[in-house]
Amino acid sequence: MFHNAALKRTGLTPYDWGLVFAALGLLMIGLVMVYSASIATAEAKSAANQPMFYLIRHAMYLVIGLGAGYAALQIPTDTWQKIAPILFVIGAIALVMVLVPFIGREVNGSRRWIPLGPLGNFQPSELMKFATILYAADYTVRKAAHMQSLQKGFLPMFLVMLFLGGLLLVEPDFGAFVVIVCIALAILFLGGLNARLFLGLIVLLAVGFVMLVVLSPYRLARVTSYLNPWADPYNAGYQLSHALIALGSGELTGVGLGDSVEKLFYLPEAYTDFLLAVTGEELGLIGVLTIIGLFAWLTWRAFSIGWQAGLMGRNYAALVAQGVGVWMGVQSFINMGVNLGLLPTKGLTLPLMSYGGSGIVANCLALAVLLRVDFENRSLMKGSGAVGSSSAARIRRPYNEGGKA
């Protein structure tokens, strides 16, 4: 527990500027690399032969995302907790709407988007990741006294996740399903879920994932091509083999910014799912390690902020912060693993960097809520009343008692 001297400390800055600069660094590197990776595609596909087509759109998404993040930063975590169920229901409705003919848009056999005219396409699964963090944290805090119970603690959340998983697999969006399940499970575990239930669930999920792969020809093809992409480099192993060629060509320092060969219609999804491969080709191992380091720092800071909030008895804020860390850590790890040939292709973008409006906006919202948790922690440590009476009243509560009945 914090001492009185620590609570009156005045040398703390209002925000964790290291976290802010790491996030902004990833956003700016992403902007540059999206431009570099998309020039050839933009010249070929845009009606007016505009090489800056994707750069302009991505910059627009960044402005919208940063604006939404700034607005979210003004909202106390108590308010986020109150509206969490509403946001979760809205996200679930959006996932249903994607499957409705003439509303959802189908691309490459997947129905994951809702057209929004000049703003592009809205992908509800990205909003659902953010909403899952808020809702799972709220659920865990409310059910704190029942986290050792299968029927009262685990089963209701399991049924909700089962429903969401069904919607995502119908689209299909297996990658988003994996990330959302990881977020929900991590928050339940950190919130005190019975260890035996957790281990049993992990085993069941592993069996379920294996069955989903075995029973789906295209998923099975992805796994077999991942194990040996050179066995069929012109078909099932095409993406991975060209990603590995790009990364190998970059060596230590890269071939130079803008000089990638693989982005010239060899590597599919060069500015979305495989942006890291183009980055490795142009900026080399140094560029890739820089990105990995920034994501590692961001994830570590999210868990540290959550740990600090937990020590102060701010249970909901603690779980939200750690949920953001799980999201950023898991999704970036999967995307990097796919680009490096360590994992089968999942169709997941690199957070904060890959092209895509829904992902950028959702990432900015999540980081803004994380910064809000950190701001409230620092305000309480300095003895300020800036976080509201309900948060301040919980400062002396133990982490494992739960913030609500």
Exposure string of 154-184, with b = 16+ CB inside 10 Å and e = fewer, is beebbebbeebbebbeebbbbbbbbbbbbbb
User: For 253-264, how does the pLDDT look when each residue is reduced to its tens digit (9 = 90+)?
Assistant: 999 998 999 999
* pLDDT at position 317 over 90: yes
Which of 290, 283, 249, 289 has its CA nearest to residue 266? 249
* DSSP secondary structure string for all residues of 370-401: HHHHHHHHHHHHTT--TT-HHHHHTTTS-GGG
Q: How confident is the model at residue 307 (pLDDT cuts 50, 70, 90)?
A: very high
Give me the mean pLDDT over the 183-203 stretch: 82
Better pLDDT: 385 or 107 = 107
Contact 16, 303 (CB under 8 A): no
121-150: per-residue pLDDT in tens? 889 999 999 999 999 999 989 887 766 766
- Residue that wins the pLDDT comparison between 394 and 234: 234
Containing 126, the helix (H) or strand (E) segment is helix 124-142
Q: What is the pLDDT of residue 397?
A: 40
Whole-number average pLDDT of the chain: 84
Q: What is the pLDDT of residue 386?
A: 52
d(CA 228, CA 125): 30
Q: Model-level pTM greater than 0.75?
A: yes
Q: What is the mean pLDDT of residues 311-340?
A: 94
Question: What b-and-e string marks burial along 302-324, b requiring 16 or more CB atoms within 10 Å of the CB?
Answer: bbbbbebbbebbbbbbbbbbbbb
For the record, the structure tokens of 147 come out as: 């986290």
Interacting residues of 39 by C-beta distance below 8 A, sequence separation 6+: 51, 258, 263
User: Taking a C-beta distance cutoff of 8 angstroms, is the pair 248, 341 a contact?
Assistant: no
Question: Is residue 33 within 8 Å of 262, Cβ to Cβ?
Answer: no
Structure tokens at 397: 């509560």
Within 13 Å and on the Cβ side, how many CA atoms surround 272?
A: 13
pLDDT: which is higher, 400 or 37: 37
Q: Which residue has the higher pLDDT, 74 or 219?
A: 74
Contact yes or no for 256/226 (Cβ under 8 A): no
* 166-189 pLDDT, tens digit each: 888 888 888 888 899 899 989 988
Query: Distance between alpha carbon 151 and the CA centroid of its chain, in Å?
Result: 29
pLDDT, tens digit, for every residue of 75-125?
A: 999 999 999 999 999 999 999 998 888 887 877 767 888 888 777 788 999
Q: What's the confidence (pLDDT) of residue 48?
A: 54
Region 197-205: what's the mean pLDDT?
Answer: 77
pLDDT at residue 49, as a whole number: 66
Amino acid 302: pLDDT: 96
pLDDT above 90: residue 43:
no
Burial of 365 (0-12, 13-18, 19+ CB in 10 A): buried
High-pLDDT (> 70) share of the chain, %? 86
